[in-house]
Amino acid sequence: MDSLIILEPADLPWGLGMMAIAIGLSSWQQLGLEFSVAIATGRTILQLTVVGYVLAVVFALNNPIPVLGILLVMLTIATITARNRIGKQIPRVIPIVFSSIFFSTALTLIYTNLLIIQPDTWYEPQYLIPLGSIVLGNAVNGAAIAGERLVSTISSSSLEIETHLSLGATPQQAVARYRKDAIRAGLIPTLNSMMVVGLVTLPGIMTGQLLSGIDPLNAASYQILIMFMLAFANLITTLLVTQGLMRQFFNAQAQLRLL
């Protein structure tokens, strides 16, 4: 296969030409997106440049502390992002989301590292950071969708839930249907991606590997593994998040309390 074509810093200004055209089109059509596109462009350049330098240092150190530090920062940002979508008014939403995403991500990475990839060291940054970031990004999306759906559904179905409680149902039974719907909603984006992966688009990881000259079959194998990881982690996350959030809607006497 052909060797990797290295992009030099001098090549990127030509890429900015596409964003300049986008800003021009927005102005021409009076969309009012010029400032947003410019800010998004600047942030993309700044954030990815900083990440590139940080990862270069972390990869060179090959030490578990900075690797885990980066994953912890990602986990914290993921938790805040999901919390903002679910609702700040929910009690203990941050520890619920944090622990759910942490457990599902850790379990997925441990399983993958020990049984499948088996790197020389468990903290190999080349594998742990990219895979961890992908799993975290998907888990936060699942947690946010499932959590938001559950909170809104319980809030709008209080009379039906209280009727079930008055007839002897436990809190778990009274909201079981709503919890299942929320879990399904959180899983649908991942399952839809699995249905069309390779047919409609090539995923980012596979595209990156192909651009770097990796054998296509090896790249496909990695992408298959990643899709399995995302589905597994997403299911665990949505199960835990909905279970934790559900409990916040009931007091010690199993009475519904609207938040």
DSSP state of 9: G
Residue 203 confidence class, pLDDT cut points 50, 70, 90: confident
Is the pLDDT at 254 greater than 60? The verdict is yes
Please give the single-letter amino acid code of residue 12.
L
Q: How many other C-beta atoms are found inside a 10 Å radius of the C-beta of residue 120?
A: 6
Is the pLDDT at 233 greater than 60? The verdict is yes
Question: Across residues 63-92, what is the average pLDDT?
Answer: 92
Question: How far is C-alpha 133 from the chain's CA centre?
Answer: 8
User: Model pTM?
Assistant: 0.86
The per-residue pLDDT for 96 is 96
The per-residue pLDDT for 202 is 80
Helix or strand run (H / E) with residue 126: helix 125-156
The per-residue pLDDT for 10 is 79
The per-residue pLDDT for 90 is 87
The per-residue pLDDT for 103 is 97
Residue 205 confidence class, pLDDT cut points 50, 70, 90: confident
Is the pLDDT at 213 greater than 60? The verdict is yes
What 3-state class would DSSP assign to 102? helix
Q: Rounded to whole angstroms, how far apart are CA atoms 245 and 247?
A: 5
Question: Across residues 230-259, what is the average pLDDT?
Answer: 91
The percent of residues above 70 in pLDDT, for the chain, comes to 98
Tokens read off for 143: 């947690």
Is the pLDDT at 252 greater than 80? The verdict is yes
Please give the single-letter amino acid code of residue 252.
A
Residue 5 confidence class, pLDDT cut points 50, 70, 90: confident
pLDDT in tens, 16-41: 999 999 999 999 999 999 999 999 99
Q: In this structure, are residues 229 and 194 in contact, taking their beta carbons and an 8 Å threshold?
A: no
Question: How far is C-alpha 174 from the chain's CA centre?
Answer: 29
Q: Rounded to whole angstroms, how far apart are CA atoms 24 and 7?
A: 26
pLDDT in tens, 158-182: 899 999 988 889 999 999 999 999 9
Q: Rounded to whole angstroms, how far apart are CA atoms 57 and 53?
A: 6
Q: Rounded to whole angstroms, how far apart are CA atoms 38 and 19?
A: 8
Q: What angle do CA 230, 54, 110 make, to 5 degrees?
A: 30
Q: Rounded to whole angstroms, how far apart are CA atoms 97 and 144?
A: 9
Q: Which residue has better confidence, 205 or 221?
A: 221
Residue 3 confidence class, pLDDT cut points 50, 70, 90: low
Tokens read off for 37: 């596109």
With the C-alpha atoms ordered 43, 44, 47, 49, is the resulting torsion angle positive or negative?
Answer: negative
Q: How many other C-beta atoms are found inside a 10 Å radius of the C-beta of residue 5?
A: 10
Which residues, 6+ apart, have CB-to-CB distance to 123 below 8 Å?
Answer: 63, 64, 67, 68
The per-residue pLDDT for 2 is 56
Is the pLDDT at 209 greater than 90? The verdict is no
Q: In this structure, are residues 100 and 234 in contact, taking their beta carbons and an 8 Å threshold?
A: no
Place of tokens 């520890």: 95
